[in-house]
Structure 1
Amino acid sequence: MNHNKFEKTEDHTGITHNPKLGDKEFEKFSEFIKREFGIKMPPSKKTMLEARLQKRLRALCMSNHSEYCKFLFSPEGLDSEITHLIDVVTTNTTDFFREPKHFELLLSQILPDLFQRNKKSLKIWSAGCSSGEEPYTLAMVLSEFAGKNSSFDFSILATDISTEILQKAKRAIYPMSKVDIIPMALKKKYLLKSKDHTKNLVRIAPELRKKVEFKRLNFMEPFPFKDIKDIIFCRNVVIYFDRPTQHRLFNEFCLRLAPGGFLFIGHSESISGMGLPVRQVAPTVYQRI
């Protein structure tokens, strides 16, 4: 069977061709993505990968996946294309105040607890920050706490594997529909409306943007920073990895978490049976022992 046959589809421009991803090419992509990024790519993901690669084939003026595969695994191709491939295989779904109970707990219990223990300058890490909604939500919550506790300060490190998505996060510009969930009082305080009212865009205020530092980080590579964090958010990220990789990553987070610090994970994730030096304080919230 010729897996690189073309199927005709009609659109407004006329006839186009959508090349199919062959089994051998998919296997090579799958092994490479698992090795380089730690992301599982089982056969059930083949159709998804095939569809997402169409954009790269068009951008590079390539007619099929075999051609793209040869280019990707050449020395010059790997160097120039790897960041684009990351954007193809990663899913950047996030929202402001996603899993809101985490932020309620942070404001009502965890920040007062750390503050009472003389932790007056907190270091927070948003690991897998996507387009910035999580770290900017954290910045709003922490700024609200700082407003009531004058000696309190904080800094946020936000990391992601995707260079393209980090650029979006740094720009901090979002459609109005994205910020509907943010309480009105916080919108008024921390969001700036576009001067062009036809665009329906907002930007995070500069006093919040300066509190967040964005850096690229591939979890499969050694972490380039050694400083200890008081709070780590890594939510809905490790679900893409196999269990041994998840275990290794959570161990890494614990090594970088201050005694008494807090780890937040996604509600679809679990650290059960990993023997980590933490105790559960709420659903998917853990404190370093």
Structure 2
Amino acid sequence: MNAVSAALDDKAIATGPAGPLLGDADFQYLRAFVLEHCGIALGDHKHQLVQGRLLRRLRALGLSSFTGYCELLRRDPHSELGELASAISTNVTSFFREMHHYDLLVDELLPRWLHEKRREGDRLRIWSAGCSTGEEPYALAMVLAEAIEQSGSKVDARILATDLSPQALETARRGEYSLERLAGISAERCRRWMLRGEGEYEGLACVHPRLRELVTIEPLNLLHPWPMSGPFDAIFCRNVVIYFDQPTKQRLFRRYAELLPVGGYLFLGHSESLHGVNDQFELIGRTVHRKIAE
């Protein structure tokens, strides 16, 4: 048993049919911790959700109470941060989700960028911030690779993919997906960019090595200092800020603006908006924003 849980009086631990119960004091601590370290605001109505989501972490860590889990966070907040954030947030993603964003890239942005950067050595950079299990950056890599081939460009093109969740990043690095998760990819692109597994990998497909060449996957907490200095031609931050409170959103979008040149693009999720949050961008399409001011 973990030393933290061993020190607790098990008789004093409230339990239910599924395991230990999350007391109000521990819930308030977790709310404050998550807001400070992740920018995620948890309302009172999230009490049961947090309890249910974190029960698996307690079992994995050998802890018998939420008090023990809170003590672990107090002692070493960073070791568990990614697992905690992954547990309480919902990672919903798919290949070519919100297809109108990819249509804009294919029809307008990528051809223009590759023409403007046609000199060898010029850089093209896209950031997938909150990449989850990798479907978004690999879909971006598909359209980028196709555009490069069509243009014959020798541009130094890369996609940075970051997330806080260790489990999501592990899946993204493997680049292996069940065949059911390929539903958003056209048949032509599936044949070109996804390699079907055989034997023990039957029912799976992995991304083409060419896509791996274009994508760099790294852990990153959006609230912490960023190691990259930009500039990026486009930043995709879709279905991420829905969890953040207003001050965190304002800080985050200011930081995104710092890494984009005037004319750079910010792509948000279908339920997200910059209205009343940031005035450095103009809305040019459905959840597509272009930087207009320094």
Pair in the same fold by TM > 0.5 = yes
The match for 2:135 is 133
Residues 30-88 of structure 1: CA deviation (Å, up to 9, x unaligned): 0001001111111111111101111112122222212222233224xx35433322322
- Note the 1:49-128 alignment, pairs <5 A: 49-75=50-76, 78-118=77-117, 121-128=123-130
Amino acid at match of 2:14: K
Q: Any gaps of 5 or more consecutive residues in structure 2?
A: 1-10
Give the aligned residue type for 2:27.
Answer: F
Aligned Cα RMSD in Å?
Answer: 1.9
Give CA deviations for 1:132-168 in whole Å, capped at 9, x if unaligned. Answer: 0000000001111112100154210011111221111
Indicate the residue corresponding to 1:29 in structure 2: 30
Q: How many residue pairs end up in the alignment? A: 278
Q: CA 1:209–1:127 in 2, change beyond 3 Å: closer, same or farther?
A: same
Q: Does 1:240 align with 2:246?
A: no
Could you list the per-position Cα deviations for residues 240-278 of structure 1 after superposition, in whole angstroms to 9, with x for gaps in the alignment?
A: 101111111111111101222211111101101334322
> Does the Cα contact within 8 Å between 2:175 and 2:207 map onto a contact in 1?
yes
CA deviations 1:82-122 (Å, max 9, x no partner) are 33223222321100000111111111122233234346641
Q: Which amino acid aligns with 2:67?
A: S
Match of 2:14 in 1: 5
C-alpha spacing 1:280/1:54, structure 2 compared with 1 (3 Å): same
1:278 to 272, 277, 281: 281
Note the alpha carbon deviations across 1:160-184, whole angstroms, 9 max, x for none.
Answer: 1112211110110000000022001
- In structure 2, the partner of 1:187 is 190
Which residue number in structure 2 is paired with residue 209 of structure 1?
212
In 2, the alpha carbon distance for the partners of 1:137 and 1:162 equals 20
State whether residues 3 and 23 of structure 1, in contact with CA within 8 Å, keep that contact through their aligned partners in structure 2. no
Q: Structure 1 residues 282 and 51, CA, compared in 2 at 3 Å: closer, same or farther? A: same
Does the C-alpha gap of structure 1 residues 178 and 144 become closer, same or farther in structure 2, counting only changes over 3 Å? same
Map of 1:13 onto structure 2: none
**Native 8 Å contact 1:230 1:257 kept in 2:** yes
What is the CA distance between 1:203 and its match in structure 2? 0.2
CA distance in 1, matches of 2:283, 2:270: 13
> 1: CA distance between counterparts of 2:281 and 2:112?
17
CA contact (8 A) 1:228 1:256 kept: yes
SS across alignment from 2:162: strand
**How far apart, in 2, do the equivalents of 1:231 and 1:255 lie?**
12
Unaligned runs of 5+ in 1: 9-16
Alpha-carbon distance in 2 for matches of 1:288, 1:80: 36
CA distance in 2, matches of 1:152, 1:104: 23
1 CA distance for matches of 2:78 and 2:229?
27
In 2, Cα distance between the equivalents of 1:61 and 1:98? 38
Percent of pairs identical after alignment? 38
What is the aligned partner in structure 1 of residue 258 from structure 2?
Answer: 255
In the aligned structure 2, how far is the partner of 1:275 from the partner of 1:166?
A: 29
Partner of 1:160: 163
For 1:190, the aligned partner's letter is: W
User: Stretches of 4+ moved more than 3 A in 1?
Assistant: 115-121
Counterpart Cα distance in 1 of 2:271 and 2:234: 20
Distance in 2 between the 1:250 and 1:79 partners?
A: 24
Query: Structure 2: how far apart are the matches of 1:215 and 1:222?
Result: 14
| Partner Cα separation in structure 2 for residue 3 and residue 243 of structure 1 | 38
